Amino acid sequence: MSTERQVVLITGCSSGIGRALALAFHEHGCLVYASARKPETLSELCARGIRTLKLDVTRGEDIAAAVALIQTQHQAIDILINNAGIPVMGPVAELPLDELRQQWETNLTAPMALIQAALPAMIARRRGRIVNIGSVSGILTTPFAGPYCASKAALHAMNEALRMELKPFGIEVLLVQPGAIESGFGASAHTQTGGHAWRLYAAYAQGIAKRAGASQEHATPTTVFAQQLLRAVLAPHPQATIRIGAGSRLLPLLARLPQALRDAILLRRFGLR
């Protein structure tokens, strides 16, 4: 990458991975714009000298304003990290369609909207890196996480297309597939799934809760994850697909087992036997 101070925009910095990445890139010397839909959650990052922005990734006007502000000051974003994401978990048969739509908007449409907004200025300079935070859940689909797994699998597919389409313009597109990483993700999943009184699946509440909490089992500390990702993103020749964190290498292997065996393992794990 260029030796100039890199301008980095990160979404979803109120907690977890986004917050840790903002700190890691800032401490490394990058000029970080940490964003969140609730700006008050960024006061600690702001106090450390990190620039902060209000950015709800599902609001087009927020995206336009954030990108315009950065481009006014620095011409273009050097590194865009699409991190914001939500869990929508539970049995597919009973999940309200509004939640499925919100899942899709946040985890898939929003990163594409940010990329479209940031790209013209990146292309004008013929340089830039786009980093999409996918998930091992986009490779291994489990019961009780259909919408979340689908959103990440779709993000992976978009990432693949973009990586090839942006080659002629000199823009690099990196896909991160984290394993289990310490963050607020498990608590959000418990809150979201706990808000439902399952009818068909009332007897499977334990399995649903287990899936909601799976991201926090034996999880890799967020700071460790952030340091490893920082190195991977700033590498002179970065890998296109980056796997970091507990289970990030094992779970893709599980996904390649014969279907009957894989189903048996997952049915048992999530109480469907």
Positions touching ligand NAP (CB under 6 A) are: 11-12, 14-18, 36-38, 41, 56-58, 83-86, 106, 133, 135, 178, 180-181, 183-185, 188, 215
Q: Which is nearer to ligand NAP, 90 or 178 (CB)?
A: 178
CB of 211 to ligand NAP, least distance (A): 12
Calculate the dihedral angle through the C-alpha atoms of 197, 202, 206, 208, rounding to the nearest 10 degrees.
-60
Q: How many residues does the chain have?
A: 273
Q: Which is nearer to ligand NAP, 185 or 204 (CB)?
A: 185
Residue 266 and residue 143 in contact, taking contact as beta carbons nearer than 8 Å: yes
33 is catalytic: no
* DSSP-derived secondary structure for 243-259: --SBTTTHHHHHHTS-H
Q: Which long-range contacts (CB under 8 A, 24 or more apart) does 42-50 make?
A: 42/13, 42/14, 45/13, 45/19, 48/23, 50/22, 50/23, 50/26
| Residue of 38, 148, 167, 201 marked active site | 148
CB of 195 to ligand NAP, least distance (A): 15
Cα-Cα end-to-end distance for the chain: 51
Q: Which is nearer to ligand NAP, 75 or 217 (CB)?
A: 217
CB of 93 to ligand NAP, least distance (A): 23
Q: Which is nearer to ligand NAP, 169 or 228 (CB)?
A: 228
CB of 123 to ligand NAP, least distance (A): 25
| Residue of 33, 54, 152, 201 marked active site | 152
CA angle 211, 248, 138 (to 5 degrees): 60
Which of 253, 245, 257 minimizes the C-alpha distance to 214? 245
148 is catalytic: yes
* Active-site amino acid positions: 148, 152
